[in-house]
Structure 1
Amino acid sequence: MSDFSGLTALVTGGASGIGRATADLLLARGADVAVLDLDPSTVSGPLRGYAADVSDDASVRSAVAGAADALGGIDILVNNAGTGATGTVEDNDDAEWHRVLDVNVLGIVRTTRAALPHLRASAHAAVVNTCSIAATAGLPQRALYSASKGAVHALTLAMAADHVREGIRVNCVNPGTVDTPWVGRLLDRAADPAAERAALEARQPMGRLLSADEVAAAIVYLASPVAAGVTGTALAVDGGMQGLRPRPEGR
């Protein structure tokens, strides 16, 4: 497919995991793609890599300006950069709450704010935010992370309403547990990594972790001109976790 031929895309957190899978798929489908990441050293041509910290406004503005100049504009913005947190509401101090919200929520604000002048000039403008199943389902030991992703979900809807008449579509994807480096690090820290992985797999009705490529496919669909009628939508890519209630096996 070449449905992105002639279009440009910017992906934050695009050097690894879901972001890298998304950048690679956009590239394969014809887009000219730039990646923003804390460490873009693994990004090589034809992808364009730019160092940026989404928690720092000056860093974001500089990187977005550089990417837009190199690309000749921005048609698609994928706000994928994020960070994780574990624990109940009492397990993280104020500094950690501020840190996670600064990256997961304000990071989207900063990047979108910098990209909006370019998006307004596009005939195929689309923003896709990486949200989470944690925004719509209560998960144990994820209070801070869930709060941040709940804010991303609400922000997506508000942005979609604000910019629909400017021709800018805004959607989000809500992944379940994905087999990414971040999840791998969580598993490594568990007392019994194998048992923890089995529990995460069993939590999703499909009985397995999702792949980054599966989430990237959903992001790219929402970003594509073929989804021109879709805005203000949260697309769950969660192995059935949100909507299905299968009986236990053998019953």
Structure 2
Amino acid sequence: MEISGRTAIVTGAASGIGRATAMALAANGARIVVVDIDPIGQRVADEIENAGGEASFFVANVTSTTSLSEMFSYAEATYGGFDILHNNAGVMFPSGFEDQPIEAWVRMIEVNFLSVVRATHAAIPLLKRRGGGAILQTASVAGLLAYSSSPIYAASKAAVVSFTRSLAALKKSANVAVNCLCPELVDTPPIQESRLRNRAVGTSTKDLASPLIPAEAVAAAAVEVIRNETLAGQAMKVSPDRPAELFEFPDWGLQR
């Protein structure tokens, strides 16, 4: 898809991957609806505008169907609609499955997976009406591999990956390309906070030694996926110090 002249909605855009993707899409000529539950997201919209781009900020709670509906209505009222949706908002909790109450894990699934389902479900008919578009989900390499330090986080991201793959046929039926990003550890505030907590309590984990990916590298992969009109139902793996690449899923002859 040609990005210039399009309108993109980016959730969780106040910082990290969301902010970097909003900035990258704006640099490529897109109008941006910067969405976050934190009002600090206004700074990102201002930053885009100050750089000569076009952006506005909308406060939304991605776990609320009503709030998501208002977000889409805002995009339609402000820009006449949207062409790109980046479902990026997500949460992380301290490591340790047994150490967290079940309510924390339910909340994680609500934000990381069900919000993606809600937003995608609402976006598809709106994109159909415009003749098509692109939906990009932020998953994680934890959704492709075992991740013992946070199994519910891994499960929530694996659900996003499977959901994305299962929507591949929308490209043919509605000209809506749904894909996802699966980065390794990214240099974002939640990851930095997690590392500080683990160091403070003397926790030794592989995560502490793993190199971090700049959020801008993930944003570059997002732009690459959105531009590539041949991709649908794919997962783009982003690793430190190497080009992003499509993850090759095993073919057991069971595709439906």
The answer to whether the superposition gives a TM-score over 0.5 is: yes
Other structure's SS at 2:167 match: helix
Other structure's SS at 1:160 match: coil
Aligned to 1:169, which of 169, 173, 177? 177
Is residue 233 of structure 2 the alignment partner of residue 232 of structure 1?
Answer: yes
Task: Give the 5 Å matches for 1:135-146.
Answer: 135-146=143-154
| Corresponding residue number in structure 1 for 2:11 | 12
* Aligned-residue offset at 1:193: 8.8
Is residue 135 of structure 2 the alignment partner of residue 127 of structure 1?
Answer: yes
| Corresponding residue number in structure 2 for 1:149 | 157
Aligned to 2:66, which of 55, 58, 61? 58
* Aligned-residue offset at 1:144: 1.2
* Aligned-residue offset at 1:28: 0.6
| Structure 1 Cα separation of the partners of residues 26 and 96 of structure 2 | 39
* Aligned-residue offset at 1:84: 0.8
- Supply the AA of the counterpart residue of 1:23: A
Q: How many residues align?
A: 235
Is residue 217 of structure 2 the alignment partner of residue 221 of structure 1?
Answer: no
| Corresponding residue number in structure 1 for 2:22 | 23
Other structure's SS at 2:62 match: coil
**What do residues 52-74 of structure 1 show as CA deviations (whole Å, max 9, x unaligned)?**
00111111111221122212111
**Of 88-97 and 30-39, the range deviating more from structure 2:** 88-97
| Structure 2 Cα separation of the partners of residues 143 and 83 of structure 1 | 14
| Structure 1 Cα separation of the partners of residues 128 and 217 of structure 2 | 29
* Aligned-residue offset at 1:31: 0.8
| Structure 1 Cα separation of the partners of residues 126 and 201 of structure 2 | 45
| Corresponding residue number in structure 1 for 2:194 | 186
* Aligned-residue offset at 1:194: 10
- Supply the AA of the counterpart residue of 2:117: V
| Structure 2 Cα separation of the partners of residues 237 and 141 of structure 1 | 20
| Structure 2 Cα separation of the partners of residues 130 and 54 of structure 1 | 14
Relative distance call for 1:96 and 1:195 in structure 2 (3 A) is closer
Other structure's SS at 2:3 match: coil
- Supply the AA of the counterpart residue of 1:41: Q
- Supply the AA of the counterpart residue of 1:223: I
Q: Structure 2 unaligned runs (5+)? A: 248-256
* Aligned-residue offset at 1:180: 0.6
Relative distance call for 1:124 and 1:116 in structure 2 (3 A) is closer
* Aligned-residue offset at 1:114: 2.4
| Structure 2 Cα separation of the partners of residues 86 and 147 of structure 1 | 15
| RMSD (CA atoms) | 2.5
| Corresponding residue number in structure 2 for 1:91 | 99
| Corresponding residue number in structure 1 for 2:90 | 82
**C-alpha contact (below 8 Å) 1:33/1:71 kept by paired residues:** no
**Of 105-114 and 89-98, the range deviating more from structure 2:** 89-98
* Aligned-residue offset at 1:202: 4.3
Other structure's SS at 1:113 match: helix
| Structure 2 Cα separation of the partners of residues 202 and 160 of structure 1 | 36
Q: Structure 1 unaligned runs (5+)? A: 244-251
| Structure 2 Cα separation of the partners of residues 201 and 160 of structure 1 | 36
| Corresponding residue number in structure 1 for 2:250 | none
| Corresponding residue number in structure 1 for 2:109 | 101
**Of 229-238 and 81-90, the range deviating more from structure 2:** 81-90
* Aligned-residue offset at 1:159: 2.2
* Aligned-residue offset at 1:91: 3.0
**C-alpha contact (below 8 Å) 2:124/2:176 kept by paired residues:** no
